[in-house]
Amino acid sequence: MNPIPVILDCDPGVDDAIAFLLARQLPQLNVLAITSVAGNVGLEHTTYNALGLVEFLDWDVPVYQGASGPIFRKRVEASSVHGANGMAGFDLPHSRTTAAMPAWDAIHHIALQQQGELELIAIGPLTNLAMAFLKYADLPGLIKRIVIMGGATAAGNTTPAAEFNIYADPEAADIVFTSGVPVHMCGLDMTMKALMTPAELDQVGALGSNEAVFFRDVVQDIVGFMKRIGILGISMHDPAAVLYAADDSIFKAYPAGIRVETKGSITQGKTVTDLFSDAKWQKNAFAVMDIDRDAFVMKVFELMKKY
């Protein structure tokens, strides 16, 4: 079976970094490009981190810089969780530079080349994807599937209603959900269950490669943050979405109608998800609701042993 041609759209970000480590070793994915977007921290940091990660991993993938903020709103970020530079203070110096084309143009250009087979994995705010759909009317017919880390059918994490990636640019998210391309939402319902314990993180570090040690060390500030809110370990939000895109066999997903609230005074950014109602919304998406946690951790070890 040929690997899936994908673009990884991201805002590195600690768990984005772990997603890079896994994606680099996944035989099911052919990562053709990485596109950066403002999210966890500002665009200058997310782009720098993306370039540093591909050099650290000796990964021959171009990085295209994207949007510096949401389409209509003021930018929000999560530096209180990921650190001022987005990488918990870790610096990944590099000599690489971004490709000349903006991210949204690169998405369209690569989609044309892939003739309907391209898939998008978006693990940050969805601004780049929305910009591409707004600019190129033919793009929906060129994209096979979109897998996102974002949203939730129930509770949020940035507000009681909204998950961070959707809250950061709700208008962009709604453009993506209504684009006509099937969207697979790896939201908090599933990703909070993709938990790795401190002992499991230490076991990854004990593998001994530079990549494995980085994996363990870069997450420690977030482990401390999680402990303060009563959770031991770290939920691997972005890595779980990447693994879902490669192989959904350890996940449970259900057809759903999903839209994004952009007007509500206390519900902005909520992914309003219709799984069972009588409203008969069009099933434009899939809500990924569950994960086999033990199988997930085994897969992480399997991939990290390749370094």
Per-residue pLDDT tens over the stretch 209-230: 999 999 999 999 989 888 888 8
What's the average model confidence in pLDDT over 109-118? 96
Q: How far is CA 217 from CA 15, 102, 193, 278, in A?
A: 12, 32, 21, 48
Q: How far apart are CA 156 and CA 164, in angstroms?
A: 8
Say yes or no to pLDDT of 79 above 90. Answer: no
Q: What is the dihedral of CA 288, 291, 295, 301, to 10 degrees?
A: 70
> Which amino acids are annotated catalytic?
237
Identify the band that residue 249 occupies on the pLDDT scale cut at 50, 70 and 90. Answer: very high
pLDDT tens readout for residues 123-160: 999 999 999 999 999 999 999 999 999 999 999 999 99
Q: Which helix (H) or strand (E) segment is 243 a member of?
A: helix 237-246
What's the average model confidence in pLDDT over 228-257? 96
pLDDT tens readout for residues 163-212: 999 999 999 999 999 999 999 999 999 999 999 999 999 999 999 999 99
Q: Return the structure tokens found at 256.
A: 């759903």
Say yes or no to pLDDT of 22 above 90. Answer: yes
Q: What is the pLDDT at residue 229? A: 85
Q: Return the structure tokens found at 10.
A: 């991201």
Say yes or no to pLDDT of 1 above 80. Answer: no
User: What domains are there in the chain, each with its CATH number?
Assistant: 4-304 (3.90.245.10)
Q: What is the pLDDT at residue 128? A: 98
Question: To the nearest whole number, what is the mean pLDDT of the chain?
Answer: 95
Q: Is the dihedral of CA 129, 132, 137, 142 positive or negative?
A: negative
Task: Please indicate, yes or no, whether the overall pTM of this predicted structure exceeds 0.75.
Answer: yes
Say yes or no to pLDDT of 239 above 90. Answer: yes
